[in-house]
């Protein structure tokens, strides 16, 4: 079944087609959720919510587009909404002490596999993790991140630099251990 | 390693990252999709049912033929002829007085203003009933000849059974069908009911009220704000419930485009300047929400639940909405059906601030959701004027 036919069948509410679409994209999207979530359980919740929204809004999807990019966007939205629901004080990121995780320019070359890197990203503090994911992986600018999260672009920038510094440190530690 | 390299390296490594979700995630999605299907089915039926209930509540009550008041002369003639028809044995029996009391086992309901009930007594059980019927006829005869109290008239004759006079307002349609004897719980089988019917033009308690409401409200997740105005009328069903038919308009506006809050990434492309990153949208709508209103006894709380039929207009016209593109520098005009009809439900909770004979003022909070996924929440005031 072509993507177009699959989407049409999903729109009609055919459960077998919906399962097929889920099977095709769920592993990739679970990887996205895993990076944003604090735990595996939270990642599963995000994925569940995202696919409910995918199936509910399929009539707004134009068949000539690529479903993967569309689904990924929904997944990222759901991840951000889930983080907001946790009532995380995003505005408090603006006033974090610099000495907590000093910004450094020395970054190691990453010789880790995807799972190890995703694990390290997941273990970053909330603010660092979200800004790092949005900026480094999804490609948002700091201005856009500021608007989405309701923080100043400068805060997003400093969050990202600290996240990168902390991540680099942890990458180093892990790479040294594996030697 | 510079910043760009670190980003690129991270992106490359993570692009291949996948993780198989456990089966329970699909099971949960499956059951939630089923639940949504059921909810949609309920919503589908809720609106026509509430419309039907509304129509039933506003249809005028069925008119019954007017009953001509009894001609006393005719009535007397009828009573006399009935009395004349009494067999001698029964007249003798009548003289036996109290001895018969315990043997009487029936009750007759007499309606002086209604001939129909004469031909349709509640029960007839042989001789004993005829005896009582004769008494009743005599009573009515004496009632038309002089204005003596029927109870006293019975007592003076040392009746072989108790007599109870009830004056009950009845609606016209009820006159033709006497109420069953168990309608009068304090009456036992040895009691004769002298039921005096007072015809009423309309059932008491069926009042019509006019409602005028206004609310400050939010559309969607709160990014559009505006107001709702509503006008309608309600008709009481009983002491606690009323049915409310209405028509309302709403107007909401606001900046809605935030890069991550829209899901759609398709449609004919049109490069728009990023500008401040948001676009002003306006929605306006006309709607009707037939609602069952209920009051919580002994509290000022009022609750209303009902269906919703809404036609909404969108400032982008029918077919276009904006969506930020993946490159974050342009927007896409997305295709869709934004002007349209939808079905839904509405819940209203009110707190009565003022309650006089004719006027009521309520502070109200409302929530509505429809098949287009539009959620509107609002806070406002509702004034209710009751025609007495």
List, as ranges, residues 96-125 from B with C-beta within 8 Å of A.
none
Is the pTM higher than 0.80? The answer reads no
Confidence of residue B108 (pLDDT cuts 50, 70, 90): very low
Q: Provide mean pLDDT across the span B31-57.
A: 79
CB contact under 8 A, A19 and B26: yes
- Best-predicted range by mean pLDDT among A28-32, A157-161, B277-281, B295-299? A28-32
Confidence of residue A52 (pLDDT cuts 50, 70, 90): very high
Residue A16's closest chain B neighbor by CA?
Answer: B30
List, as ranges, residues 325-354 from B with C-beta within 8 Å of A.
326, 328, 334-336
Candidates B307, B293, B284; CA nearest to B349 is B293
CB contact under 8 A, B21 and A26: yes
Please indicate whether residue B23 or residue B315 has the higher confidence score (pLDDT). B23
Q: Which of A16-30, A92-106, B291-305, B340-354 has the lowest mean pLDDT?
A: A92-106
CB contact under 8 A, A65 and B17: no
Q: Give the pLDDT confidence score for residue B63 in this predicted structure.
A: 46
Q: Provide mean pLDDT across the span A19-48.
A: 92
- pLDDT for B87-102, tens place per residue? 444 444 544 443 433 3
Which chain B positions have a beta carbon within 8 Å of A113's beta carbon? 13
List, as ranges, residues 244-273 from B with C-beta within 8 Å of A.
258-261, 263-267
Spans of all domains in chain B: 72-200, 205-386
Residue A55's closest chain B neighbor by CA?
Answer: B33
Residue A34's closest chain B neighbor by CA?
Answer: B19
CB contact under 8 A, A136 and B7: yes
Distance from CA of A97 to the nearest CA of B (A): 22
Residue A73's closest chain B neighbor by CA?
Answer: B263
Residue to mutate among A29, A147, A162, A169, with most B CBs inside 10 A, is A147
Q: Provide mean pLDDT across the span B107-126.
A: 41
B33 touching A, CB under 8 A?
yes
CB B355 within 8 A of CB B363: no
Q: Give the pLDDT confidence score for residue B135 in this predicted structure.
A: 56
Instruction: Please report the domains of chain A, with CATH numbers, ordered by start residue.
Output: 3-85 (1.10.1740.10), 93-178 (1.10.10.10)
B9 touching A, CB under 8 A?
yes
Residue B268's closest chain A neighbor by CA?
Answer: A62
Confidence of residue B177 (pLDDT cuts 50, 70, 90): low
Nearest to A117 among B13, B32, B259 (CB): B13
Q: Provide mean pLDDT across the span A147-173.
A: 87
Task: Please identify, in words, the CATH class of the domain defined by B205-386.
Answer: mainly beta
Q: Which of A115-119, A141-145, A173-177, B165-169 has the lowest mean pLDDT?
A: B165-169
Confidence of residue A12 (pLDDT cuts 50, 70, 90): confident
B24 touching A, CB under 8 A?
yes
- pLDDT for B342-370, tens place per residue? 888 999 999 999 888 889 999 999 999 98
- pLDDT for B307-337, tens place per residue? 999 998 877 655 555 555 555 555 555 555 5
Which chain A positions have a beta carbon within 8 Å of B1's beta carbon? 107-109
Which chain B positions have a beta carbon within 8 Å of A53's beta carbon? 263
CB contact under 8 A, A114 and B17: yes
- Best-predicted range by mean pLDDT among B202-206, B259-263, B365-369? B365-369
pLDDT over 80 at B156, yes or no: no
């Amino acid at each position: 079944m072509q993507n177009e036919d699959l989407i049409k069948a999903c729109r009609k509410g055919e459960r077998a087609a919906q399962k097929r679409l889920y099977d095709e994209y769920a592993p990739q999207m679970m990887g996205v959720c895993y990076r944003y979530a604090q735990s595996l359980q939270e990642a599963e919740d995000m994925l569940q919510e995202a696919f409910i929204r995918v199936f509910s809004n399929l009539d707004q999807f134009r068949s000539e587009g690529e479903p993967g990019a569309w689904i990924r966007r929904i997944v990222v939205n759901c991840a951000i909404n889930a983080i907001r629901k946790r009532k995380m004080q995003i505005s408090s990121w603006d006033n974090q002490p610099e000495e907590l995780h000093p910004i450094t320019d020395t970054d190691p070359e990453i010789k880790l596999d995807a799972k190890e890197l995703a694990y390290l990203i997941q273990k970053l503090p909330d603010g660092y993790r979200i800004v790092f994911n949005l900026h480094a992986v999804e490609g948002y600018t700091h201005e856009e991140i500021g608007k989405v999260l309701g923080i100043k672009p400068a805060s997003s920038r400093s969050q990202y630099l600290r996240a990168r510094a902390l991540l680099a440190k942890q990458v180093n530690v892990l790479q040294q251990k594996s030697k | 390693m510079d910043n760009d390299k670190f980003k690129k390296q991270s992106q490359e490594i993570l692009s291949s990252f996948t993780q198989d979700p456990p089966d329970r995630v699909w099971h949960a999605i499956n059951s939630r999709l089923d639940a949504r299907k059921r909810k949609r089915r309920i919503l589908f039926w809720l609106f026509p049912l509430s419309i039907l209930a509304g129509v039933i509540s506003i249809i005028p009550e069925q008119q019954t033929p007017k009953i001509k008041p009894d001609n006393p002369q005719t009535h007397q003639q009828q009573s006399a002829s009935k009395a004349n028809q009494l067999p001698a044995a029964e007249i003798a029996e009548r003289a036996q007085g109290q001895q018969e009391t315990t043997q009487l086992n029936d009750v007759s309901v007499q309606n002086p203003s209604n001939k129909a009930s004469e031909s349709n007594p509640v029960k007839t059980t042989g001789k004993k009933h005829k005896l009582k019927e004769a008494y009743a006829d005599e009573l009515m005869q004496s009632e038309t000849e002089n204005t003596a109290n029927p109870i006293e008239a019975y007592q003076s004759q040392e009746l072989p059974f108790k007599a109870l006079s009830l004056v009950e307002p009845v609606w016209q349609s009820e006159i033709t069908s006497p109420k069953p004897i168990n309608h009068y719980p304090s009456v036992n089988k040895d009691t004769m009911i002298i039921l005096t019917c007072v015809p009423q033009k309309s059932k008491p308690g069926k009042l019509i009220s006019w409602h005028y409401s206004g609310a400050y409200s939010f559309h969607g997740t709160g990014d559009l704000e505006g107001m709702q105005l509503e006008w309608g009328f309600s008709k009481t069903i009983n002491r606690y419930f009323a049915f409310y038919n209405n028509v309302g308009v709403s107007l909401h506006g606001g900046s809605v485009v935030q890069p991550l809050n829209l899901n759609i990434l398709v449609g004919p492309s049109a490069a728009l300047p990023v500008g401040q990153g948001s676009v002003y949208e306006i929605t306006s709508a006309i709607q009707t929400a037939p609602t069952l209103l209920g009051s919580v006894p002994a509290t000022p709380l009022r609750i209303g639940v009902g269906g919703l039929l809404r036609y909404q207009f969108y400032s982008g016209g029918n077919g276009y909405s904006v969506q930020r593109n993946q490159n974050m520098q342009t927007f896409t005009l997305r295709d869709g059906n934004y002007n349209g009809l939808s079905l839904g439900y509405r819940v209203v909770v009110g707190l009565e601030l003022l309650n006089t004979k004719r006027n009521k003022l309520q502070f109200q909070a409302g929530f509505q959701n429809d098949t287009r996924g539009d959620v509107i929440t609002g806070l406002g005031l509702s004034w209710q004027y009751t025609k007495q």
